[in-house]
Structure 1
Amino acid sequence: MVSQISYLLDTNIISELAKPQPNSAVLQQFYVAQHEISISSIVWHELRFGWLRMPDGQRKQLITKFLHDVVSLIPILDYDAQAAKIHAEIRIQTQKMGNNIPFVDGQIAAIAMAQGLILVTRNTKDFQAIEGLRQINWFTDTIDR
């Protein structure tokens, strides 16, 4: 059975899952949706950059294992021409409202919108100004089945 991707995970969700004791609600939602998730190339960059900056040690070894065993199995969606078009529209829309969201957040939101996905993030306030973006916070919300 081929599962359809429904969710685009933000960096803060993947980072939570990498903790020695992740939030139980986030972990539960991850298991429920594990065959329907993806990350963006932007999130992959943020994860990889953070990992490269880490000092050698036990924590870095654990993150290396997590990136290899878990994240490497998650589809990575690129910032393509359609996402770039949507991102430009997001930037204009939010600037007109006086709400300049961080560039990478706009990219992540645009990828979710271009692919018709729900963005999973803890930082829902950062994305509230983006019209048409569907989002969920796995720390507080559950997936409707």
Structure 2
Amino acid sequence: MILVDTNVISEVMKVSPSESVVNWLNAQESSALYLSTITIGEIEYGLRILPVGKRGLRLKERFQRFVSLAFAQRILAYDETAARTYGELMGHRKEIGRPMSIADGQIAAIAIANGLMVATRNTKDFKDCGLELINPFLPQT
């Protein structure tokens, strides 16, 4: 099972998304894909700071529809287990001289707490977290 990172969701929201990402998503069993509440927050923030206008409204509606259809019943919250995992993970990353952003740490913690892989373009950001990583932006063989 796979937790889909924010950059993958952002990519598929584009008018012309990466062919590799679209192909990768289409090749996955939809029931194996999960989304975190952290990613929802990051996307909602990005939509909120767009200039006021029809484009932003269309993107927001499209995102809400996409989430409700593609990830119904597969949205994972940042719960107590993830929070405890986050503390351990962030401490470890600081000790090894590879601190990570709060959002990436929370996403990684949710994945670890739920035994999931992470699909992301930013594999280096999640390195040394003990996660199996997938980069859907690379052509799949």
User: Could you tell me which residue of structure 1 aligns to residue 6 of structure 2?
Assistant: 11
The yes-or-no answer on 1:27 pairing with 2:26 is no
**SS at 1:20 equivalent:** coil
1:135 to 109, 133, 136: 133
- 2:102 aligned residue: 103
Amino acid at match of 2:34: S
Q: How does 1:59-74 map to 2 (within 5 A)?
A: 59-73=55-69, 74=71
2 CA distance for matches of 1:141 and 1:103? 29
Which consecutive unaligned segments of at least 5 residues does structure 2 have? none
Per-residue CA shift, 1:68-102, capped at 9, x if unaligned? 32122312100111111111111111111011111
The alignment-based identity, stated in percent, is 37
User: Are residue 93 (structure 1) and residue 89 (structure 2) matched?
Assistant: no
Counterpart CA distance in 2 for 1:117 and 1:142 is 20
> Aligned residue for 2:113?
114
Unaligned 5+ residue runs, structure 1? Answer: 1-5
Off by >2 Å, runs of 4+ in structure 1: 56-59
| Distance in 2, Cα, partners of 1:96 & 1:135 | 22
Q: Give the drift of 1:65.
A: 3.4
Letter in 2 for 1:32: A
Whole-angstrom distance in 1 between the partners of 2:119 and 2:66: 17
Aligned-partner SS, 1:8 = strand
Secondary structure at the counterpart of residue 100 of structure 2: coil
1:51 maps to which residue? Answer: 47
TM-score normalized with structure 2 length = 0.89
RMSD: 1.6
Query: How many pairs are equivalent?
Result: 137
Shift of 1:37: 1.1
SS of equivalent residue, structure 2 residue 31: coil
Aligned residue identity for 2:17: P
